[in-house]
């Protein structure tokens, strides 16, 4: 059936879908990669924060001994700036990972059309269909897999740290914090790696679902190609009109020609020679009906027509309208112009004349 959507989306359809924000993109990819990046940057962030905290803590006894609001506010300000500088690398990493994940899944584009109010979005039926359709089944399965995998990761991590916490009384505070921090970071990294694997599967499912939604019927592809490339009938009409306009311009220039080379009925080439502008120039040419029209205009304006089969064919084939003749035709055309001048000197230039010195290819 022509209405069945069996064709892959065209480039125009994909471009329109991106503009409308319809991109096969998984939010989990950016989230889990962000968590992995955070687990890498977190030790450095904590180390920097602890260093700044120790520096601030050394100043507190002096403030307690000699309370001064200005000094206290200065310490608070420095503490806030220190916290901001400590967290900044972590925040920048998270932002860079999020942008890279979005770009890798189809580019970064602000879908302005999503900001335009549409009453169709208030229709609850599409939402209900999603809740009861295959998408809801996949989301439920994904949530179950997430819970299972993250539970397994949490258990495998905690089973190693619990014995350490049970004997925490034998450890110094610094050592205990180091063990807890290392275990927490290991937990985050393990969860992030597992999440990335699940996000990859989610991305392919979302991508496949989006591509399926964007599929087109053969009639839609045909109509879009017609809209993009133009209606063939209309293009043919425009082309015919352009050719007609070009022919009219040629006919308007024929009365200014010095000579028209003919063959003797199928080809006509009108030449004009102005010594101040270089070599002779082809101002009109054509075959069949166009050649006939050129001859008629030339006859009406008493332009000499010289019959030279080979030269007329060569110029018609090798020189475009508006171009000067190539150097290899200088000699043959010069002889034609000399012959025309001799006819004009006798007052017998009008009409058709056979070239007494035909182009060598005519032989």
Q: Is the whole model's pTM more than 0.85, yes or no? A: no
Same domain (yes/no): 252, 189: no
Choose the weakest-confidence range: 21-35, 109-123, 236-250, 318-332: 109-123
Same domain (yes/no): 72, 197: yes
Domain boundary among 166, 193, 226: 226
Same domain (yes/no): 222, 244: no
**Within a domain: residue 94?**
yes
Same domain (yes/no): 270, 206: no
Question: Is 362 a residue whose pLDDT tops 50?
Answer: no
What's the CATH number where 289 sits? 3.40.1690.10
d(CA 274, CA 270): 14
Q: Which residues have a Cβ under 8 Å from the Cβ of 256 and sit 6 or more positions away?
A: 272, 283
Share of the chain above pLDDT 90, in %: 16
pLDDT digits (tens, 9 = 90+) for 159-172: 766 666 666 555 56
Same domain (yes/no): 96, 203: yes
Range of the domain at 254: 239-362
Q: What is the mean pLDDT of the chain?
A: 77
**Within a domain: residue 72?**
yes
Strand partners, 64: none
Same domain (yes/no): 181, 61: yes
**Within a domain: residue 2?**
no
Task: Name the nearest CA neighbour of 297 among 257, 336, 264.
Answer: 257
Top mean-pLDDT range of 125-139, 197-211, 214-228: 197-211
Torsion of CA 310, 312, 316, 321, to 10 degrees: 150
d(CA 43, CA 357): 97
**Within a domain: residue 350?**
yes
Same domain (yes/no): 305, 258: yes
Tell me what pLDDT residue 363 has: 37
**Within a domain: residue 232?**
no
Task: Name the nearest CA neighbour of 267 among 359, 149, 175, 201.
Answer: 359
* pLDDT band at residue 311 under the 50/70/90 scheme: very high
Same domain (yes/no): 351, 320: yes
d(CA 1, CA 6): 10
Same domain (yes/no): 246, 214: no
Contact 333, 280 (CB under 8 A): yes
d(CA 193, CA 191): 6
| Tokens 């009925």, located at residue | 265
Question: Is 268 a residue whose pLDDT tops 50?
Answer: yes
Same domain (yes/no): 302, 153: no
| Tokens 């996000």, located at residue | 199
Same domain (yes/no): 216, 148: yes
**Within a domain: residue 3?**
no
Same domain (yes/no): 184, 329: no
Domain boundary among 199, 226, 253: 226
**Within a domain: residue 271?**
yes
Higher per-residue confidence, 192 vs 104? 192
**Within a domain: residue 129?**
yes
How many domains in the chain? 2
Domain boundary among 204, 226, 248: 226
Tell me what pLDDT residue 262 has: 92
């Amino acid at each position: 059936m022509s209405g069945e959507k069996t064709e892959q989306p065209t480039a125009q359809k994909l471009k329109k879908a991106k503009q409308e924000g319809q991109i096969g993109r998984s939010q989990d990819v950016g989230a889990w990669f962000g968590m992995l990046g955070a687990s890498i940057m977190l030790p450095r962030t904590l180390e920097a924060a602890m260093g700044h905290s120790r520096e601030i803590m050394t100043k507190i006894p002096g403030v307690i001994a000699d309370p001064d609001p200005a000094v206290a506010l200065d310490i608070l300000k420095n503490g806030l700036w220190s916290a901001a500088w400590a967290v900044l690398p972590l925040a920048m990493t998270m932002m860079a990972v999020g942008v890279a994940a979005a770009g890798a899944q189809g580019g970064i584009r602000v879908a302005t059309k999503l900001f335009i109010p549409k009453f169709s979005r208030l229709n609850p039926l599409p939402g209900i269909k999603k809740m009861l359709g295959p998408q809801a089944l996949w989301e439920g399965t994904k949530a179950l897999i997430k819970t299972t995998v993250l539970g397994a990761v949490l258990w495998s991590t905690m089973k190693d740290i619990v014995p350490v916490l049970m004997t925490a009384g034998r450890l110094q505070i610094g050592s205990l914090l180091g063990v807890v921090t290392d275990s927490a970071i290991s937990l985050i990294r393990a969860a992030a790696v597992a999440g990335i694997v699940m996000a990859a599967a989610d991305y392919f499912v979302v991508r496949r679902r989006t591509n399926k939604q964007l599929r087109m019927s053969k009639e839609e592809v045909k109509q879009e190609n017609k809209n993009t490339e133009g209606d063939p009938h209309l293009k043919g009409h425009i082309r015919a009109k352009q050719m007609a306009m070009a022919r009219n311009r040629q006919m308007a220039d024929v009365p200014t020609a010095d000579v028209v080379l003919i063959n003797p009925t199928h080809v006509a080439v009108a030449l004009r020679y102005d010594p101040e502008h270089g070599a002779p120039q082809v101002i009109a040419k054509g075959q069949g009906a166009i050649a006939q029209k050129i001859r008629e205009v030339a006859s009406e304006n008493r332009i000499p027509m010289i019959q030279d089969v080979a030269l007329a064919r060569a110029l018609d084939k090798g020189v475009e309208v508006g171009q000067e003749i190539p150097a290899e035709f200088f000699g043959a055309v010069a002889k034609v112009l000399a012959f025309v001048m001799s006819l004009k000197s006798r007052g017998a230039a009008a009409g058709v004349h056979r070239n007494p010195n035909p182009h060598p290819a005519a032989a």
